Structures are given as C-alpha cells and as structure tokens.
Chains A and B, each alone.
Chain A
C-alpha cells in the first residue's frame, strides 16, 4: 500500500514513515531531545526532497517534544525560569545563526562548515558523554572516589541570579551563552540542539539531573515550533499528510521512550545517548571520506524544491 503526498508530489509507504516516526519519537522521549537530527537524514534517505524533510523534521520535533513535555510539566520536573532564560537567548541565536548561514552560503562555504563542525561537535560530545558515564558507573561501587568533575564557572561569573527550582544561585551568563550558541548552531546545522543542551545543562550549569530532561525538552519545544512555523510559511515545504503520519508514530514513540527512560539510571541513559551520537558521527564522517553512491542530485520531480 502506498499513499500519495500532495505537496511532495510522490507516493510513500505509510508503514515505513510510521516506523521512522516511532524510532525518532522513541529517541526523543528517552533522552529528552527533539530527534530532528535523526529524522531529516532518515527522510532524505527514503527519497523525500530535502526542503520537505527539513520542515517535517522541525514539525515532528515539535510534536514529540510536546508529548514528552506534558508529563514533565505535570511533575514540575523542569526549571521554567532557567528554561525561559535560555529560550530567549536561543531565539536570538537562531536569528543571528540564519544571517551567518546566509553569509556562509554566499561565500560557498556553508556545506563545508556545516558538515565538518557537525562531525567535530558530535564526536566530542558523544565521546565525552560515553567516557564520563562509564567512569561514573565504575566509581558507583566505590563511592568515596570523587563524583564527576563539574564546572564551577556559574559561581565565578558576575550577574548572579537565583533559580529556586534548581537550587542554584549562579550567574545568568552561562545559560544565556549556552542558549545563544545552541540557537546559532541549530540555525546553521538545522537541528533542534537537544543533544547539545542535555550535556551542557549537566556539566556547565550543574542542574539537578531530575530537571535536565524537562528543561531541555522545553527549550526544544519552543525552538522547534518556531522553526517549523517559520520554515513552512516561508518555503511552503510542509506536507501535512506526511507530517501527520510521522507525528502519529513520533508521539507514540515518545511515550514508549519516556516509559523506558524512567526505568534506566542516569548513567545508563547517558551511555546510550553517547552511543547514538557516536554512531551518527561515524556515519557522517564516513560520508566525508567515502565516494557517495550518487554523485549527482537533482531538484524534485515537480521542480521548485
């Protein structure tokens, strides 16, 4: 059975799309990230034109993060004040990032910068997540040995502010800078930035681990919604038939992911996330070195996209 997509002007297998949505939603619910970084490449691999894949990515991230956000919100498992601070900076970062992106594409460096920074950044985050959580796990038997090293930069910088929910009295500069940088990166690299946010909240902001997922998902929700709306109105690439199928898979997947997320310990979750990120890094790095299967790519069949 195939279903025809009115905007993409092609037929797809709805079960395949439902499966992709389920996987991406599961990853999103499990780790508290948007999952756009997985969805967009998966859609392009299944033959969906890139502009449609990018908008669908943002739209599905919005749905999945909404689905994981509600339970976190009801449990008050997020720091709204810290989240709002970061979101404000993040939206500004997205704006600046789009300008930088346009400038890079004008110079013809966009592809180069995006792909190399993707590999370096993901590789760094994935491997440090992995090595750090393995160390924690080993040390768990022997609690006398020091806990994980945390940055105390928030206590040293000026402009301190109280974040009662996180029981933190830190400078607002680190959250603002993190939000801003993630906004820039998400505009340039076309991703929600949840996978960057989670480690940043843990290691730089020193947020209590129980609030990390909720706060990160809040930021992803706002950024993904903004991106989805702006992109679908500006380039008209939103295919509601496609995104409906993906969303159904994603919201179910997100609930399943959340369920399993509650059963796993923090270190275990971080090891898993580290593995997912490292796998993605390897795929992206291989793409840089291996001869691509299709050297030529063309515009979509109906033209325009």
Chain B
C-alpha cells in the first residue's frame, strides 16, 4: 500500500515537474525550402540551423536524416561463367530512397547501436525494400550492402559524422552537400536529439527539389507528348546534319 501511494504521488506530483525540468526542447529550420535544378545545377548545399534547450547533462547529440523520394531501383552483379565475365544476377528493389543523408555531431555508431539505427531509420541499409526473390539471406544482404556502397560513391547516400556543429547555448548548424545527381522530389528532414543512445525529441521538416524553366518544360513535354518529342528529336538530328553539310560546302567553296 505504501508503495502504491508513493507511486501515485510520484506520478501526479513529481513526475511532471521532473519531466518539465528535464525536457529537452528542439527547434530547427532549413535555410531554403526548395532546391532548383537549373541548367547550371552542379550540386547544392543544404544548411540547417537549430537550437536544443539542454536539460541536465550535456551529453547530447544531434542526428539529421535527409531522405529523398522513394523510387524503384535495381542492382546487377557481374559474374564469371566458364572463365568469361558474361554472367549477371539482378536484384530489384520495390522502393529505395533516391537520396539518404545522415549528418550528426559524432559518428553515428557512437551515438546509437545498430538496431536503434534501423528502428529509427537512421541507416540506408534498413531502408531498402527488395522485391521478392530466391536469394539466400546472406546473398541478399551482400546485394543490399553493395547497393549502398555504389550510392555512397555517387554521394547520394551520405554519412557525414561531423556535419552538425554545436555553436553556443545549444545552437547548432548543419551543412549537407547534395550532389549533381540529386533527383527531384519531396525531401524530408528529420532532426533527432539523442541522449543515452535514444531519441528524446524530434522535428520534421521538408524541402522540395524541382526542375525549373527550360529543364522542367523539356522533362514534362517528353513525358506527356512522347511521340512529338521523339519526332522533334529526330528532326533536330537530321536538320543539324543537313545544315552542317550546307555550311561546310560553302566554306569549302
């Protein structure tokens, strides 16, 4: 009985106070809410500012996860058949993030164990969704790891352990590079405050990567009127060939 009274007094009296006192508050904002793919687009820098109201201990980390739109994808592995490199095996993914960036104050593996990372979607490997196939579990894991490696080489999957920097009074700043291959679509940015290997607060932001102007027009026209677009492409090729022949004949006399 004593225990129960103690419990309730704790719950109704003390807990909210303790919780209020120890609550970690997070606020964050992106500098830009859109990235424009123009004709001279060669990658972009994404900047984010934020503040954490730290309570109690200061052993707090920030993890920022930037996730591009999901798309279908595949990976092919070449193999040797009778001494010749002609074989290939392909694994399809029903959904794979086109972009996946993890920016943090420290290496992510020091901030949270692997299973926590998978649970909160903090590693690219757990985000791949392979199509049904007849591969063994180990083989499938190899394909997934290889896919992540290729995307990391293309800078589409990024692990930036020092990209988030604390300034003062709990203010932080993060700079993340988007490569020229950045696919268009809606990107979500999840900011997590990590304490003792667990997330204690989180906010969600988003930004959009869009083609604009001429690039947008061509992309949409090609998709909506593929017959006219194909014809136009062919006429462009033949016209250029014809014009150059005429031009050079004049030059040659």
What chain A residues lie within 8 Å of B223 (beta carbons)? 236
* A6-B233 Cα distance, complex, nearest whole Å: 14
The closest CB in chain B to the CB of A246 belongs to B237
A63 near B40 (CB under 8 angstroms)? no
| B245 and A3 contacting across the interface, CB-CB below 8 Å | no
Could you tell me the distance between the alpha carbons of A35 and B48 in the complex, rounded to whole angstroms? 49
Chain A at the B interface: SS class: helix
Task: Tell whether B151 is near chain A: CB-to-CB under 8 Å.
Answer: yes
Closest B residue, CB atoms, query A233: B230
- Set of chain A residues within 8 Å of B187, measured between Cβ atoms: none
Contacting residue for B75 out of A6, A296, A303, CB 8 A: A296
Are A288 and B84 within 8 A (Cβ)? Answer: yes
A143 interfacial by beta-carbon distance below 8 Å: no
Residues of chain B within 8 A of A238, CB atoms compared: 222, 229-230, 233
Residues on B with beta carbons closer than 8 Å to the beta carbon of A225:
234, 237-238
What residues of A have a CB within 8 angstroms of the CB of B182 in the complex?
A: 301
* Inter-subunit contact B72/A304 (CB<8 Å): yes
Contacts of B249 in A (CB 8 A): 71, 74
Q: Residue of A at shortest CB range from B70?
A: A303
Given known A4-B37, A255-B245, A292-B78, contact A302–B237 (CB-CB < 8 A): no
Given contacts A11-B42, A255-B245, contact A4 B180 (CB under 8 A): yes
B238 touches A66 (CB 8 A): yes
Question: Do B233 and A228 touch (CB < 8 A)?
Answer: yes
Q: Which of A111-119, A178-186, A191-199, A205-213 contacts B (4 or more CB under 8 A)?
A: A111-119
Any A CB within 8 A of the CB of B67: no
Whole-angstrom CA separation of A273 from B146 in the bound complex: 40
CB distance from B185 to the nearest CB of A (A): 9
Q: List residues of chain A with CB within 8 A of the CB of B246.
A: 70
B88 close to chain A: CB less than 8 A: yes
| CB of A142 closer than 8 Å to a CB of B | no
A302 close to B234 (CB less than 8 A): no
Instruction: Determine if B85 and A301 form an interchain contact, defined as CB atoms under 8 angstroms apart.
Output: no
- Cβ–Cβ contact A236 & B234, under 8 A: no
Number of B residues whose C-beta is below 8 Å from A?
65
Given contacts A287-B85, A288-B86, whether A59 and B73 have CB atoms under 8 Å apart is no
Using Cβ atoms and an 8 Å threshold, which residues of chain B touch A289? 83-85
Contacting pair A115 B78 (CB below 8 A): no
Shortest CB-to-CB span from B202 to chain A, Å, is 28
Residue of B nearest to A297 (CB): B76
Cα distance, A65 to B238, chains bound together (Å): 9
Contact between chains at B230 and A232 (CB < 8 Å): yes
Docked complex Cα distance between A259 and B78 (Å): 43
State which of B43, B75, B241, B248 has its C-beta within 8 Å of the C-beta of A64.
Answer: B241
What is the minimal beta-carbon distance from A292 to any residue of chain B, in angstroms?
Answer: 5
Given A11-B42, A111-B86, A236-B223, are A301 and B181 neighbors across the interface (CB < 8 Å)?
Answer: yes
Instruction: Report the stretch among B7-15, B25-33, B130-138, B211-219 that lies at the interface.
Output: B211-219
Residue A299 CB within 8 A of the other chain: yes
Question: What's the A-B contact tally at a CB cutoff of 8 Å?
Answer: 193
> Which residue of A115, A254, A292 is within 8 Å of B244 (Cβ)?
A254
Selected from B84, B240, B252, the residue in CB contact (under 8 A) with A247 is: B240
Contacts of A228 in B (CB 8 A): 230, 233-234, 237
- The answer to whether A70 touches B78, judged by C-beta atoms less than 8 angstroms apart, is no
Given contacts A233-B230, A292-B78, contact A243 B236 (CB under 8 A): yes
State whether B226 touches A243 (Cβ < 8 A). no
Chain B 69-105 interface residues, beta-carbon cutoff 8 Å to A: 71-78, 81, 83-88, 96, 98
For chain A residues 1-32, which have a beta carbon within 8 Å of chain B? 1-4, 6-7, 9-11
A11 to B84, CA, bound (A): 34
Least Cβ–Cβ distance between B92 and chain A, in angstroms: 9
From B237, B241, B244, A243 is in contact (CB under 8 Å) with: B237
Q: Say yes or no: is A133 at the interface (Cβ < 8 Å to chain B).
A: no
Known: A7-B222, A9-B181. 16 other contacts (CB 8 A): A4-B37, A4-B180, A10-B181, A60-B237, A62-B237, A67-B242, A112-B81, A228-B230, A236-B223, A238-B233, A251-B243, A289-B85, A291-B85, A296-B77, A297-B150, A303-B96
Interface residues of A (CB under 8 A from B): 1-4, 6-7, 9-11, 59-60, 62-71, 74, 111-112, 115-116, 225, 228-229, 232-233, 236, 238, 240-241, 243-244, 247-248, 251-252, 254-255, 259, 287-292, 294-299, 301-304
What are 17 A-to-B residue pairs whose CB atoms are below 8 Å? A2-B42, A3-B39, A6-B219, A11-B43, A59-B237, A60-B237, A64-B241, A70-B246, A112-B81, A228-B233, A232-B234, A241-B218, A243-B233, A296-B146, A297-B75, A299-B72, A303-B96
Sort A-B residue pairs by CB-CB distance and give the 7 closest, nearest first: A66-B241, A303-B71, A70-B245, A251-B244, A11-B180, A233-B230, A302-B183
